[in-house]
Amino acid sequence: MRGFLPGLAVILAAAPCAAAAAPGPAEMLRACEHGAPLCIVDLHGQRYRLTETLRIDPLHMTLRNGVLDAAGLARGSAAILVTSDGDAAESYDTAPNSLDHLELLGADGVDGIVFDNKDDSNIRAADLTVENVSVSGFRRGITFGNHAYGVGLSHMQVHNNEIGIYTVPHAVDAGERITFEDTGIFNNRIGIDDEGGMEIDWLGCRWDYNGTTAIIAGLFTFDGHIETEISSHPVIELRAVEGQIAGALYMSAGSFVLMNHSGGKAGGDYWISSTSPYNAVQFPASTYGVRGRVAVMQGPGAVYGPALPAFRPR
């Protein structure tokens, strides 16, 4: 698939009834020429067992419409790496490309989707639209690393992973306004582990039945539904990264937070914990079981209610 005219969109598609020798997604992605502004790899709903990490250049590549099984990958590797490393183009234009309509099936010790650039370019970003994607069974479902910022992810399910969403500590040029929309983060051992202290917005999202709901070291805004089982330990931890704004969770007034089967009573001494006096949580107008036998907040962080009415644990 070499030699096509630059400036044209190219679609590389798996045959609906592909033979054993037919190219897999890795081969099709390698056939995407860097000179093409848009190269679409369509898997036509087929299932592939991965034997290597799929490298997606967000300036040129779209991958869509298939099932990717990572059971054949080595521990410590990733199913998909979104990176523009090695691309000569100094361009911001990742918007035409995406990961969409994919189901990613994980394996022990393997990561799902990783956004990370090693090249030290402040123009090229590890940024790609992700929509209608399910990620399950991984060590870390989605990871944001160096030069990952402004990423938009929508209509997703991230579930049954060790960690659902992970941000890399001390990431370079990263973390500016990553946005999730209509996304469920559920049944993970840890729902969100924000070690990098990033800015993440959650619009119409659900954090349900994770062992630890979230570890937050950056600025999070949340509109949606949080649901947990009764827990003897704080279900959300607010932390602080040196040299950055301390972790905070600001929930919209119309969100709902529920500790199920609690009878409205405290499950433990505290519901949320903090490590810095600059940590803060703002609760919505409606909660159930969001309280502690000692207090709502463990540690020096601040607790705010919605603008109206005042926050009352119940």
pLDDT tens per residue, the chain (314 residues)?
333 333 446 676 665 554 456 789 999 999 886 556 789 999 999 999 999 999 999 999 999 999 999 999 999 999 999 998 887 777 888 999 999 999 999 999 999 999 999 988 777 888 999 999 999 999 999 999 999 999 999 999 999 999 999 999 999 999 999 999 999 999 999 999 999 999 999 999 999 999 999 999 999 999 999 999 999 899 999 999 999 999 999 999 999 999 998 888 888 999 999 999 999 999 998 999 999 999 999 999 999 988 655 566 76
Q: What is the pLDDT of residue 3?
A: 34
pLDDT (tens digit per residue) in 20-77: 567 899 999 998 865 567 899 999 999 999 999 999 999 999 999 999 999 999 999 9
Report residue 48: phi and psi, to 5°.
-125, 135
**pTM to 2 decimal places:** 0.92
Q: What is the pLDDT of residue 304?
A: 93
With tokens 């598609």, the residue in question is 13
Q: What is the pLDDT of residue 16?
A: 56
DSSP string, 88-144: -------TT-EEEEEEEE--TT-EEEEE---S--SSS-S--EEEEEEEESSSEEEEE
Q: What is the pLDDT of residue 227?
A: 97
Q: What is the pLDDT of residue 193?
A: 98
Q: State both tokens at 142.
A: 């989605």
Nearest-angstrom CA–CA distance, 40 and 97: 8
Report residue 9: phi and psi, to 5°.
-80, 140
Q: State both tokens at 71.
A: 């059971």
Sequence-ordered list of residues with C-beta below 8 angstroms from that of 263, at least 6 positions apart, any chain: 289
10 to 13, 109, 186: CA distances (angstroms): 10, 34, 37
Q: What is the pLDDT of residue 157?
A: 98
Q: What is the pLDDT of residue 290?
A: 93
